[in-house]
Amino acid sequence: MTTTSVALLRGINVGGNRKLPMKDLSGWMERAGFEGVRTYIQSGNVVFSHGARPEEELRTELEALIASRAGFDVPVMVRPASELAAVVDANPFPGVEPTRLHVGFLTEPPDPAAVAAVDPATWAPEEFVVIGREIYLHLPDGMGRAQLPPRLKILAPATARNWRTVTALLELTGS
């Protein structure tokens, strides 16, 4: 049985640092046996197919593959296409401009006590909602001017994507 998943790489090709051409990554993944490898923009978004395997195994394999080929460590978040569809369906901020809505993807749900300790009023009009392993961020002034993300410790380690990217990746999965 073949499964389609999305790999989200953290902290590559940002500000000219930790360069990792998506063409190289695609080739490495294909040679490692992944199928239907497609990338989306240069910020580390990969849709791929594989035999049914646990998410943790895929994440570990991809991180090791990138470290061995690129020469630096890159945290990778993996989501099966069905989970990415659930992320889209659970959007707590419908109708928000797609460039003002971001999703932080984590490897596991944040500590509920840490989430409860954050006073949302401190960051208004910026706001966030945690659903499972995702943190939805509504940032009315955009990510570049946002005060909340760098101070939201429950986001670490995570990688964030804007809503346009999240929905484009879902479309690429065929779901």
Q: Poorest-confidence range of 4-8, 111-115, 151-155?
A: 151-155
Instruction: Note the pLDDT tens digit of each residue in 21-41.
Output: 899 999 999 999 999 999 998
Residue length, the chain? 175
- DSSP strands (E only) in 32-167: 35-39, 45-51, 76-80, 101-106, 127-131, 134-138, 158-162
Amino acid 152 reads L
What angle (nearest 5°) sits at the alpha carbon of residue 44, between those of residues 38 and 50?
A: 45
Q: Which two tokens stand for residue 122?
A: 């401190």
Sequence-distant (6+) residues with CB within 8 A of 87 are 79, 103, 131, 134, 166
How far is it, in rounded angstroms, from Cα 52 to Cα 55?
A: 9
pLDDT of 16 strictly over 70: no
CA-CA distances (angstroms) from residue 91 to 46, 52, 106, 134, 156? 22, 27, 16, 10, 21
Q: Band of the pLDDT at 170, cuts 50, 70, 90? A: very high
When pLDDT is averaged across residues 147-162 and rounded to a whole number, the result is 82
Look at the pTM and tell me if it is higher than 0.95: no
Find the DSSP H helices in 32-147.
Answer: 55-70, 81-89, 112-116
* pLDDT tens digit sequence for 123-132: 899 999 999 9
Collapsing DSSP to helix, strand or coil, 51 comes out as strand
Q: How far is CA 109 from the centre of its chain?
A: 14
* % pLDDT > 70, the chain: 96
Q: What is the pLDDT of residue 144?
A: 86
**Is residue 15 predicted with pLDDT exceeding 80?**
no
Fold for the domain defined by 2-81: Alpha-Beta Plaits (3.30.70)
pLDDT band at 135 (very low <50, low <70, confident <90, very high): very high
Contact between 159 and 169 (Cβ < 8 Å): no
